[in-house]
């Protein structure tokens, strides 16, 4: 007898089986495409990180030697106005759009219109070295980020990336430059994702940004440059302590906003009264020399000894952080190249030192919180600054660091050191309509905008 086949037997041509097979094939293809996509962006991020690491190493090594030389030759500060004339003329006649600095990089991430000038990297490198050699109060971040952005965009141009890929690679360049110059690879990646817009994080660039920041930091260390070690802090969980840190965070946010406003004010004042741009650094240089004659040389250059004193537990006066704001706002506002971040570290650490006594807090702890919190308020990057604090001072102080950064961010309003940073989500209600405001930050006219319009 012929046996009958089971009624529930399914042949390979059964529609349900075919649908399941198709879904499995689609899933496999999607995973393969994802792996290829990730590998491509890891490679692109690694290239950007190598460029950032190499350029940051050259800058940091030169900066250390230049700073040592200046400290041994105090009288060099008297030549700051002459150095300002040279720098101002170089940027005015040779710089083109490179004069826009960090603002140009963020602007190109938002709306790509033209390639970042190749001349930006050498101009900001030499210009920053000259600024520090003669005592200008500036930092390091702007130089590292601009070099990384210029070199990475040149790489993007060489391999003919399309507009969308180029935008992501510019985000990656920010991460590589920031992570490499400060030795904070995790914070560097988050900073790049967070900095372009208030209230928005660009997760689509997470993989290449992390790759660039990690590789950039490894390159700097691999070439033999060691960042200064900072004290590791362990803070117990204490509600009263966190409340006091929150009060200090308010002051840190206002200090960051004051720095941004004063720097912009100096730019606008000089642009409105001095038509020939190269003369503005001369006037600013004279001002810095005058301030140094009155208050000493502690506020020139990076002023890293002020950070060391604060973190060592010294009680500094409120005049220290205020003078550092004044020296730096005048230096950067008149057109000297350099970064804002290291001066903001100094401002925050010294303000924390001054606030420790009235708030009855440990000086080292509050100086460490101020170190990152003032930058968080001025740059509108609370997450990156919290992570930076953990990388620099250890996870034992994560709660005070987070509270200080978040409160500083909230109370700095929408002021910021990056004029093309956009407001994607407001920190509070709009004063007129009660609705969050969604507009581009930086409507005030800067000296650079005035130059471009004229």
Distance from C-alpha of 289 to C-alpha of 182, rounded to nearest angstrom: 28
Q: How many angstroms separate the Cα of 123 from the Cα of each of 131, 150, 231, 342? A: 12, 11, 35, 20
DSSP-derived letter for residue 424 is S
CB-hemisphere CA count at 13 Å for 8? Answer: 0
Q: Give the mean pLDDT of 206-232.
A: 97
Q: Give the mean pLDDT of 396-406.
A: 97
CB-hemisphere CA count at 13 Å for 152? Answer: 39
pLDDT of residue 335: 96
Q: Tokens 């510019």 appear where?
A: 170
* Residue 365 in this model has a pLDDT that exceeds 70: yes
| Lowest-confidence segment of 43-52, 110-119, 308-317, 362-371 by average pLDDT | 110-119
Give yes or no on whether 35-222 and 239-423 have one common fold: yes
Contacts of 141 (CB under 8 A, 6+ apart): 177, 178, 181, 182, 339, 340, 341, 342
Q: Give the mean pLDDT of 342-348.
A: 98
* Residue 184 in this model has a pLDDT that exceeds 60: yes
The token pair that represents 19 in the structure block: 């649908």
Q: Give the mean pLDDT of 101-130.
A: 94
* Residue 443 in this model has a pLDDT that exceeds 50: no
Give start and end residues of each alpha helix (H) in 98-184: 102-110, 120-133, 141-158, 163-182
Task: Evaluate whether 88 touches 279 at the Cβ level (below 8 Å).
Answer: yes
What is the DSSP track for 163-227? HHHHHHHHHHHHHHHHHHHHT-HHHHHHHHHHSSEET---GGGHHHHHHHHHHHHHHHHHTT--P
Superfamily of chain region 35-222: Clc chloride channel (1.10.3080.10)
Is the CATH number 1.10.3080.10 carried by domain 239-423? yes
Q: In the chain, where are the structural domains located?
A: 35-222, 239-423
- pLDDT category at 428 given cuts 50, 70, 90 is low
Interval 85-94: pLDDT, tens = 999 999 999 9
Burial string for 309-339 (b: 16+ CB within 10 Å, else e) reads bbbeebebeeebbbbbbbbbbbbbbbbbbbb
The token pair that represents 14 in the structure block: 């059964």
pLDDT of residue 379: 96
* Residue 454 in this model has a pLDDT that exceeds 50: no
Burial string for 121-137 (b: 16+ CB within 10 Å, else e) reads bebbbbbbbbbbbbbbb
Interval 126-146: pLDDT, tens = 999 999 999 999 999 999 999
Interval 262-277: pLDDT, tens = 999 999 999 999 999 9
**Percent of the chain predicted with pLDDT > 90:** 80
């Amino acid at each position: 007898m012929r046996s009958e086949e089971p009624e529930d037997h399914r042949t390979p041509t059964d529609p349900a089986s075919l649908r399941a097979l198709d879904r499995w094939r689609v899933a496999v293809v999607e995973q393969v495409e994802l792996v290829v996509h990730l590998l491509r962006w890891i490679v692109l991020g690694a290239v950007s990180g190598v460029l950032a690491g190499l350029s940051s190493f050259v800058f940091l090594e030169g900066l250390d030697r230049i700073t040592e030389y200046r400290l041994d030759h105090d009288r060099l500060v008297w030549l700051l106005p002459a150095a300002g004339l040279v720098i101002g003329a170089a940027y005015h006649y040779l710089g083109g759009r490179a004069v826009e600095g960090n603002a140009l990089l963020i602007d190109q991430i938002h709306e790509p219109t033209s390639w970042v000038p190749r001349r930006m990297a050498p101009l900001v490198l030499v210009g920053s070295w000259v600024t520090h050699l003669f005592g200008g109060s500036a930092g390091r971040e702007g130089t590292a980020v601009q070099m990384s952005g210029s070199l990475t965009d040149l790489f993007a141009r060489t391999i003919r990336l399309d507009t969308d890929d180029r935008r992501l690679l510019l985000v990656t360049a920010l991460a590589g430059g920031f992570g490499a110059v400060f030795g904070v690879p995790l914070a560097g990646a988050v900073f790049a994702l967070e900095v372009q817009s208030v209230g928005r994080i660009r997760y689509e660039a997470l993989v290449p940004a992390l790759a660039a920041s990690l590789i950039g930091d490894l390159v700097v260390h691999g070439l033999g440059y060691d960042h200064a070690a900072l004290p590791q802090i362990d803070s117990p969980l204490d509600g009263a302590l966190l409340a006091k840190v929150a009060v200090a965070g308010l002051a840190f946010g206002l200090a960051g906003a004051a720095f941004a406003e004063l720097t912009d004010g100096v730019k606008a004042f000089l642009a409105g009264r001095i038509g020939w741009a190269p003369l503005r650094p001369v006037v600013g240089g004279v001002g810095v020399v005058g301030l140094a004659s009155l208050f000493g040389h502690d506020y020139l250059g990076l002023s890293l000894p002020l950070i060391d004193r604060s973190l060592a537990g010294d009680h500094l006066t409120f005049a220290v952080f205020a003078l550092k704001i004044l020296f730096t706002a005048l230096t950067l506002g008149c057109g000297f190249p350099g970064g804002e971040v290291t001066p903001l570290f100094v401002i925050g650490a010294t303000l924390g030192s001054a606030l420790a006594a009235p708030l009855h807090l440990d000086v080292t702890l509050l100086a460490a919180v101020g170190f990152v919190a003032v930058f968080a308020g001025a740059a509108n990057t609370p997450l990156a600054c919290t992570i930076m604090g953990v990388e620099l001072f250890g996870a034992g102080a994560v709660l005070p660091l987070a509270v200080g950064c978040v409160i500083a961010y909230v109370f700095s309003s929408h002021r910021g050191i990056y004029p093309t940073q956009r407001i994607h989500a407001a920190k509070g209600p709009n004063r007129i309509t009660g609705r969050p405001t969604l507009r581009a930050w930086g409507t005030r006219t800067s000296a650079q905008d005035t130059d471009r319009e004229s």
